[in-house]
Amino acid sequence: MTPSWRKPAGALLIVGLILFWAVLVASFSGSIGQLHPLLQALVYVFTGIIWIAPLKPLLRWMETGRWRA
């Protein structure tokens, strides 16, 4: 079998997604920093988990070449 180009491309997309999300969340750090510390923790926990949502279709595409099941 020949290696698929989708896996390296998908890995780069994942790194790009992480970079984009980190910059986006960091751009709101001034506003988030003014919140109560417990609320800050909730915001950062939520934003730390939500970026995972687009990974399932991306990983499926990397394996099968399709975006949907």
Mean pLDDT of 18-31: 94
Tell me: the pLDDT tens digits for 42-63?
999 999 999 898 888 999 999 8
Q: Is this prediction's pTM over 0.85?
A: no
Check residue 54 and give its pLDDT: 85
Provide the residue ranges of all domains of the chain, joining segments of one domain with +: 6-62
- Please say if the pLDDT value at position 40 is more than 90: yes
Residues with Cβ within 8 Å of 60's Cβ and at least 6 positions away in sequence, in order, are 66, 67, 68, 69
Check residue 1 and give its pLDDT: 66
pLDDT, mean over the chain: 91
Dihedral of CA atoms 27, 29, 30, 34 in degrees, nearest 10, equals: 150
